[in-house]
Structure 1
Amino acid sequence: MRWVTVEGVNGVGKSHLIAQVPDVVRLAELPDCAADPLTERLMAALGGDRFLRTGFPLAETFTLLGLAARRFELARRAYGDSAVTILEDRGVDTIAIYQAAILSNGDDDRALELALRLRAMAAQWRPPPDRTVLVVDDDQTCLARWNAREGRSPTPSERSLMRQASRLYQRLLQHYTIIDRRELNEQQAVQALLNACQEHS
């Protein structure tokens, strides 16, 4: 089993690219994932807003990390040592970055330190992906996609959180294989993602 996680800020178009990659098992984002009844119930309990903020950020963080570990356990049970490629839409890094941003109250340095600690903690519960791909695009294009998908503009709070997440991803570039949609057309971006699924780490 080979595991590839795709990361990126809201509106970057990663889910659209993932949908076009052939011959993989796709795992949707946790909020959209109906993997099993337990996951469904816990995600429903976190359904406070688009970013799963219920007002209890520590409980939210550990719930999401636990669900990420459960996701891996379910996939390992289903696919074991087979040659299948798992293509995960958002993984541990999303949890680490967005929850660190929520917990840091806008302090990027504190958020980066916390995100790294959360990544390391998660690695004790499930192995890191064989490859993590970061999809990037310009901010205005991402915002336009968000508006089209959600049918509204982000609130000031959501916009602030997305901007901080984008800054944190930029500070962690060394951890990622980059697909820059500013330099690639859609077909090229899909091919780059397919290559990331097929290349050895």
Structure 2
Amino acid sequence: MGKSYLIDQVAVRLEDTVTPLAELPDVGADRLSGRLVAALQAGGDPFLRTGFPLAETFTLLGLAVRRYEHVAGAFAGKPTVVLEDRGTDTVAVYQAVILTEDADHESEVVLALLDTAAAWCPAPDLSVLLLDDPDLCLVRWEERTGVSATPDQRRLMARAHDLYLWLARRQPHRYTIIDRRELNEEQTVEALAAVCRALASREER
């Protein structure tokens, strides 16, 4: 069970409280977003690498901002909790890894990318970092994509994992860590639901 599955389960449990969003690469509902996503996917790389990392980075950030604008317009004046799978945090983390050859500068780059995104849309009120067994995550990724991860892709995922942890520990006010290695499926869904209930209560005040 991956993030999308868990989000769907939380949305069912809290039907009238939360609104789930699809993963960022699946946001091609409008024509422009669809064409941009198709261009990123054209190279066939699961991490949307086309050989132009800066262009990819700002395209993904632009798509995230565009989605925020659509959501903000749809829910204007209505307190709601929106569950976003792969938002600006994910774009910033993965693109920071892609833009840097090693870990020496990736922390500076991820903060710069988050600052860039914040100029156009607010940061999430709360980001949930789901920790899991890396080997199981890799198996699920390979089953979902239908390909075996290359050494380069494994390194990218490992670096992203470490950078996520660094970011969560640097910004504890904005991150909640849920360790799935200590929870079963029901407990994980309930932990996520509890986070959503707390946010919904805060919105209603």
TM-score, normalized by the shorter chain, greater than 0.5: yes
Rounded Cα–Cα distance in structure 2 between residues aligned with 1:74 and 1:35: 11
CA distance in 2, matches of 1:126, 1:191: 29
Aligned to 1:123: 118
Measured in 2, the distance between the counterparts of 1:35 and 1:133 equals: 25
SS at match of 2:9: coil
How many Å apart are 1:84 and its aligned residue? Answer: 2.3
User: One-letter code of the match for 2:73?
Assistant: R
- Which structure is larger by alpha-carbon Rg, 1 or 2? 2
Map Cα deviations across residues 73-121 of structure 1 (whole Å, 9 max, x no partner): 000111112122211001111111111101101x113011100110111
**Secondary structure at 1:90 match in 2:** coil
Aligned to 1:56: 52
For 1:151 and 1:46, how far apart are their aligned partners in 2?
19
Identity %: 56
Instruction: Please point out which of 122, 138, 150 is paired with 1:155.
Output: 150
Given the two structures, how large is their TM-score scaled by the length of structure 1?
0.89
2:27 is aligned with 1:33: yes
How big is the alpha-carbon RMSD for the aligned residues of Structure 1 and Structure 2? 1.4
Structure 2 distance, partners of 1:104, 1:65, is 17
Unaligned runs of 5+ in 2: none
Q: How many residues align?
A: 189
State how far apart, in whole Å, the 1-side matches of 2:187 and 2:180 are.
9
Taking the TM superposition and a 5 Å limit, the aligned residue runs for 1:150-189 are 150-174=145-169, 175=171, 176-189=175-188
CA deviation after TM superposition for structure 1 residue 32, in Å: 1.9
Report the equivalent of 2:70. Answer: 74
> Letter of the aligned partner of 2:183 in structure 1?
L
Determine helix, strand or coil for the equivalent of 1:134: strand
Letter in 1 for 2:6: L
The structure whose RCO (Cα within 8 Å, separation 6+) is larger is 1
Mapping of 1:104-119 within 5 angstroms?
104-105=100-101, 107-119=102-114
Q: CA deviation at 1:141?
A: 1.0
